[in-house]
Structure 1
């Protein structure tokens, strides 16, 4: 009788363990969509904004120094009319004096030299004027945005509807590049310091 009770107890224990293990599992799904369409971005001047040599004496001591603005021409040509956006990547992440803008690298060891930001202008989508829009939730919702920021998707909408991303075959725009050097009194410019901004604009298909 005791042996029988022991066997029953073991059987119940095993059943309980199996049930608990099954309840601790989780499913994983891998999905996506391969599209036959592709977009090719291109930017004028090889994507280079060169401010040349700037004398440290010409920098503002107690406030940021705004450098002359530059304008680059950005074109995106697609195989067909499709919805797409741009995802900005700061290749100097963590060096900007503003978290929403691109960095210019570090000087004097670990000091942030400044920032730059991009302002889209004169958008033309398939020959029709458009407006710059952005999404902070992965493309679910869109809003009008004059200055494009990091951590947002960049796109184009019609001039009277900022809430909808346009499907586009050819997009052309001017990108105004605005650069600021942080107050100069925090730096040691006894040696040359490079302005070292770098960014990647990645086409995202939506």
Structure 2
């Protein structure tokens, strides 16, 4: 009985010793979330460039057929928080591209497809950024490819992975701005009439996605 009692008392004393230990360590947690500036991107007229009705008789049979340039407004509003951001365009009709249709001064990366009718490619178009401004100050377009170095740009837009931004000084780096206004100029070129199926309506069906991203 004494052995049992002694064992029992030993366990009780050990339990009391553990329960009596003080807590002398605490953890401090600092939390929060940093979010990018809330910027809204919009294009005038819903981003639709409409060439209306084009008579087939107006088209050259053996040469590409450039149409007049049309424009729409570009606006980015980031409230009151200046931030660095850029734009990239992805051609959703790239499979319909007609090589060389834009002529000299353009690369194939700047050639956006106009879709196809009866498996015949309709044509192409170029996109150019113009008259970029922030709070009345002129901005100059710059471009980089796949996170490479920024370079000066003439505003002619090449498809992603090219990304466009703007500078407000001699240094070729993106400017932090709160608002941007500008013009997107589009010039369509229709394929040679001999390469189209003019026994039916041929629809100009260029589609591209314009994506704003923070830098």
Into which bin does the TM-score normalised by the smaller protein fall? Answer: 0.7 to 0.9
| Residue 5 of structure 1: aligned partner | none
Larger radius of gyration: 2
Larger proportion of strand: 1
**Which runs of 5 or more residues in structure 1 are unaligned?**
1-32
Identify the match of residue 141 of structure 1 among 149, 161, 180. 149
Tell me the TM-score normalised to structure 2 length.
Answer: 0.74
Q: SS at the partner of 2:46?
A: helix
Superposition RMSD on alpha carbons, in Å? 1.7
Q: SS at the partner of 1:63?
A: coil
Distance, in Å, in 1 between the alignment partners of 2:55 and 2:42 is 32
Residues 3-82 of structure 1 mapped to structure 2, 5 A cutoff: 35-79=35-79, 80-82=81-83
Distance, in Å, in 2 between the alignment partners of 1:199 and 1:137 is 19
Q: SS at the partner of 1:45?
A: helix
Residues 121 and 196, structure 2, Cα contact 8 Å, conserved in 1: no
| Residue 27 of structure 2: aligned partner | none
Q: What CA deviation, in whole Å up to 9, does each residue of 1:71-121 have, x standing for no partner?
A: 111000113111100111112122122431211101222x22111111111
Q: SS at the partner of 1:167?
A: coil
Distance, in Å, in 1 between the alignment partners of 2:65 and 2:170 is 36
Aligned residues: 171
Distance, in Å, in 2 between the alignment partners of 1:34 and 1:66 is 48
**Which runs of 5 or more residues in structure 2 are unaligned?**
1-32, 100-107
Alignment CA distance shift 1:130-1:36 (3 Å): closer
Q: Does 1:205 align with 2:181?
A: no
Tell me the TM-score normalised to structure 1 length.
Answer: 0.77
Higher alpha-carbon deviation: 67-76 or 35-44:
35-44
Residues 132 and 183, structure 2, Cα contact 8 Å, conserved in 1: yes
Q: What CA deviation, in whole Å up to 9, does each residue of 1:126-169 have, x standing for no partner?
A: 3310111111132x4111222111121011112533x2111111
Identify the match of residue 115 of structure 1 among 124, 142, 157. 124
Write out the 4+ residue segments of structure 1 that deviate beyond 4 Å after TM superposition: none
| Residue 202 of structure 2: aligned partner | 193
Alignment CA distance shift 1:63-1:40 (3 Å): same
